[in-house]
């Protein structure tokens, strides 16, 4: 599992189209969210800790290690063999990714990106909005979903 920030996909001030969710997020929340994303992109990677994962069947591998692997595969021009190289390097043929949670000003709303990556034409993911209600995080909206 890798843990990574949400990243802009387009040159737009509102590339996640958060303004469409004005019933959930204020304009100040939206500015605050984009500032967090920009700060995370510039910061060092943060990794989940294996001992914090309850399901022992899930193996966490650090973002730095994954990024080094990806750079090596690209540098050695093994991009077409990415999935074979992933199996050799990590002993896996698929993985899940989750982004840093990005919070509203009051910390009652969060945006998180999830992905399941299982091959060049295999995978799915979403970017979701969660709100804290009665002490539990509840999904309230999908910003985007993808499937391959």
In whole angstroms, give the CA distance from residue 46 to residue 62: 8
More confident residue, 144 or 6: 144
**3 state SS of 6:** coil
Q: Evaluate if residue 97 carries a pLDDT over 90.
A: no
The pTM of the whole model exceeds 0.75: no
The CA distances from residue 84 to 22, 89, 95, in Å, are 44, 9, 13
Mean pLDDT for the stretch of residues 92-102: 85
Q: Evaluate if residue 58 carries a pLDDT over 50.
A: yes
Tokens encoding 115: 């992905």
pLDDT band at 133 (very low <50, low <70, confident <90, very high): very high
In whole angstroms, give the CA distance from residue 138 to residue 135: 9
Tokens encoding 31: 């500015």
Mean pLDDT for the stretch of residues 98-126: 90
Note the pLDDT of residue 43. Answer: 62
The CA distances from residue 126 to 37, 79, 139, in Å, are 17, 24, 12
């Amino acid at each position: 599992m890798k843990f990574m920030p949400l990243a802009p996909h387009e040159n737009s001030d509102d590339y996640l189209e958060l303004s469409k969710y004005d019933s959930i997020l204020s304009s100040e929340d939206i500015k605050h969210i984009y500032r967090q994303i920009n700060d995370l992109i510039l910061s060092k990677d943060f990794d989940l800790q294996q001992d914090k994962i309850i399901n022992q069947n899930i193996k966490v591998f650090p973002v730095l290690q994954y990024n080094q692997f990806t750079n090596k595969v690209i540098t050695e021009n093994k991009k077409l063999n990415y999935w074979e190289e992933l199996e050799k390097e990590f002993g896996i043929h698929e993985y899940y990714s989750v982004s840093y949670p990005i919070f509203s000003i009051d910390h009652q709303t969060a945006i998180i990106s999830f992905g399941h990556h299982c091959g060049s034409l295999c995978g799915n993911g979403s970017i979701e909005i969660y709100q804290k209600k009665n002490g539990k995080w509840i999904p309230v909206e999908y910003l985007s979903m993808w499937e391959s």
